[in-house]
Structure 1
Amino acid sequence: MSKVIEVVEDIVSPILDDLNLELVDIEYVKEGKDWFLRVFIDKDGGVDIEECGLVSERLSEKLDEIDPIPYNYFLEVSSPGAERPLKKEKDYERAIGHNVFVKTYEPIDGEKTFEGKLIDYSSDKLSLEITIKTRKKQVEIPKDKIANARLAVTFS
């Protein structure tokens, strides 16, 4: 599956560059009996349906031409949404000062899930300010312990 993602990334990157859009993530997954190729795109201020449609058209043409995927699949091009995943260095840097949700591979201070404000990020760790009841606490999470991370929407 990762080979498909690599090939799709190589194909879609020039399309996105041409349209001044950013690649956020690519998923190639089987759900039930169907395969889905999902491409998540964004830009400052967000993407609209027309941009998603344009990328989908151009990508679909290239995929039909090259035919790198052996199975029938559904192509979906969309925004990553308000709770976009944090995968690349710049995703984390952009998220500083925002609320994030982090899940770890193994417990840190007895916990595997954390939600709080990202206050610092480096290539080897991130620091979150979490609130426990009424008390604020800083937690450092080694980058190699992160299973996944995303922005977290908070309602106040």
Structure 2
Amino acid sequence: MAELEARLTELIEPEARALGFDLVRVKLFGGAGDRTLQVMAERPDTRQLTIDDCADLSRRISDVLDEKDPIDDAYRLEVSSPGIDRPLTRLKDFEDWKGHEARITLAEPVDGRKQLTGDLAGTDRDDSVTIYVRGHGLTSVNFEKIASAKLLLTDRLIAATQPLSSEGAEEFETEDQD
């Protein structure tokens, strides 16, 4: 699966870049007959995508995948922004989101721990990620040893991220009050 995801990333990344987006994650999951190809991208300046951005990227990806046909089975294509409690997939993500709470799952335990939760403290020159783990202090792990990582939804994260637009929000608010 990792090899196929790498191939898909090679095909999808140029399409995202052509639209001015950074590719955050390409993930294929599910079994035969129920596969989903999840593509997360963002605008570098806002770290978000609009619905129109998602539609544009989805069309470009569909065209390329229809032509190259790298996936044997049927699948659903899901294109989205990474969201507020986003996955951290690139080394730069750990630096960009320094000061925010995250959960890091390691491929193998370090000091008897496979999961680290705490405030990100950034990255080091040797491609290590540093996190302040409550009760354990600063912990550094090589980026390559991270199986997965994501930001945790906190008031601090909500305050640091602003929606691109709140247009139409009042419509939903009045519907809920009826």
Counterpart residue identity of residue 74, structure 1: R
1:85 & 1:64 partners in 2: Cα distance?
27
Moved over 6 A (4+): none
Query: Any unmatched runs of 5+ in structure 2?
Result: 157-178
For residue 19 of structure 1, report the CA deviation from its aligned partner. 1.1
Instruction: Give me the whole-angstrom Cα distance separating, in 1, the residues matched to 2:61 and 2:102.
Output: 31
Alignment partner, residue 106 of structure 2: 104
- Deviations 1:10-29 (CA, angstroms, capped at 9, x unpaired): 22222211211010010111
Residue 29 of structure 1 corresponds to which residue in structure 2? 29
Q: CA deviation at 1:113?
A: 2.1
Q: Note the 1:42-53 alignment, pairs <5 A.
A: 42-43=42-43, 44-45=45-46, 46-53=48-55
Provide the rounded CA distance (Å) in 2 between the counterparts of 1:140 and 1:131: 14
Question: In 1, distance between residues paired with 2:64 and 2:32?
Answer: 26
Identity of aligned residues (%): 33
Question: Aligned-pair RMSD on alpha carbons?
Answer: 2.3
- CA separation of 1:144/1:54 partners in 2, compared to 1, >3 Å: closer, same or farther? closer
Query: Any gaps of 5 or more consecutive residues in structure 1?
Result: none
2:33·2:74 contact (CA, 8 Å) conserved in 1? Answer: no
Higher normalized strand content (fraction of residues): 1
CA gap 1:19/1:108 in 2 versus in 1, 3 angstroms: same
Cα displacement (A) at 1:124: 4.0
Write out per-residue CA displacement over residues 15-60 of structure 1, whole angstroms, 9 at most, x where no aligned residue.
2112110100101112474111111111232111111111111111
